[in-house]
Structure 1
Amino acid sequence: MEFFFYAVPSLMIAGFAAAAYLLVRRARRLRRTWTHGLTAEARCLRMFTTAGGGGGDTSVHTTVHHVYEFTTREGRTVRFEEENGPTTVLEGDFVTVRYLPELPQRATALPPTPGRLAVGTGVGLVFLGIAGSFCVGFILLVHVIFAESDGLLP
């Protein structure tokens, strides 16, 4: 029984650490694409929205998706989908995309906003850190409870 009180928060901490790693990796890739990436003209092939939430007292949130296609300098045609793009870009519009030559499928049509990226990444890391801290605190509390009760639940 005691195992579950340690295992579940430990798995949650591992999940928070993995999410933090992915958040930082995405921010670094996006920043590198903005600063060192090549540019190309892309065409918006499709624009669509997805809706989520809306259960109970929560509001519905809508995410805008765009599907772009462009040709790299090497002549390779690349198609990619991106979330949270501007709602002013419609099907058939041409936009400038930035891509890394080694990862053209990870291109972005988002305009460079390094300050916004830094703030968003920072807020995400703070949230994950607080959640992880609560898990560590829970593990320590459980350890103290089990140590004082000689391994028996009170």
Structure 2
Amino acid sequence: MEVFFFIVPLIISTVTVLAAVSATRRSRQVSRAWRSGITAEARCLRSYTTTSGGGGDSSVRTTLHHVYEFVTREGRTVRFEEKNGPGTIIEGDIVTVFYAPDRPERATAHAPARGKLAVSTGCTLVVCGVLVAFCVVFMVTAHLMFAATGDFLLP
């Protein structure tokens, strides 16, 4: 039974680290697209929402998605999807997208806001770090508790 005191926090920590890596990767992609200075006119092909959460007593989170299509300077047609865009953009709207020339499929329609991006990424990393630290402290405490009582079954 004690193994659950180690496996569950380890799984939570792993998922949290993967979330931190994902947030950092997307932040770098958006920042790189902004830094490139290359823009294009894109058409919103579709907008839709997804929901997550259990409902009932737990909260439900709604995420707005947009699908855009644009043509690069080289004439390549690129279609990409982006989460958390503005609710004012609807199908058929024309927006400016930013992209890096070697990775146009990682474009963004978000207007440059480097400070906001840094703060949101930083806050995400802090929350992830606190959660991982809590899991580590929990596992160390459980290890000490089981070692002190002699009920420790793991090597």
TM superposition score normalised by structure 1: 0.87
More displaced, 80-89 or 104-113? Answer: 80-89
Q: Note if 1:132 corresponds to 2:93.
A: no
CA contact (8 A) 1:70 1:79 kept: yes
Q: Note closer, same or farther for the CA distance 1:137–1:108 as it changes in structure 2 (3 Å cut).
A: same
Show the counterpart of 1:65: 65
In structure 1, distance between residues paired with 2:81 and 2:29 = 16
More displaced, 67-76 or 79-88? Answer: 79-88
In structure 1, distance between residues paired with 2:13 and 2:52 = 26
Q: Note closer, same or farther for the CA distance 1:52–1:142 as it changes in structure 2 (3 Å cut).
A: closer
RMSD: 2.0
What letter is aligned with 2:144?
Answer: V
More displaced, 89-98 or 10-19? Answer: 10-19
CA contact (8 A) 1:38 1:98 kept: yes
What letter is aligned with 1:106?
Answer: R
Gaps of 5+ in 2: none
Superposition deviation, residue 64 in structure 1: 2.2
Gaps of 5+ in 1: none
Show the counterpart of 1:113: 113
Show the counterpart of 1:30: 30
In structure 2, distance between residues paired with 1:95 and 1:111 = 10
Q: Note closer, same or farther for the CA distance 1:68–1:12 as it changes in structure 2 (3 Å cut).
A: same
Q: Note closer, same or farther for the CA distance 1:84–1:135 as it changes in structure 2 (3 Å cut).
A: same
In structure 2, distance between residues paired with 1:4 and 1:61 = 29
Show the counterpart of 2:146: 146
Show the counterpart of 1:55: 55
What letter is aligned with 2:74?
Answer: E
In structure 2, distance between residues paired with 1:35 and 1:152 = 54
CA contact (8 A) 2:95 2:109 kept: yes
Q: Note closer, same or farther for the CA distance 1:48–1:19 as it changes in structure 2 (3 Å cut).
A: closer
In structure 1, distance between residues paired with 2:59 and 2:53 = 6
TM superposition score normalised by structure 2: 0.86
Superposition deviation, residue 99 in structure 1: 0.9
Q: Note closer, same or farther for the CA distance 1:56–1:84 as it changes in structure 2 (3 Å cut).
A: same
In structure 1, distance between residues paired with 2:71 and 2:85 = 20
In structure 2, distance between residues paired with 1:54 and 1:144 = 36
- How many residues get paired? 153
In structure 2, distance between residues paired with 1:139 and 1:146 = 10
Superposition deviation, residue 4 in structure 1: 3.3
**Identical aligned pairs, as a percentage?**
56
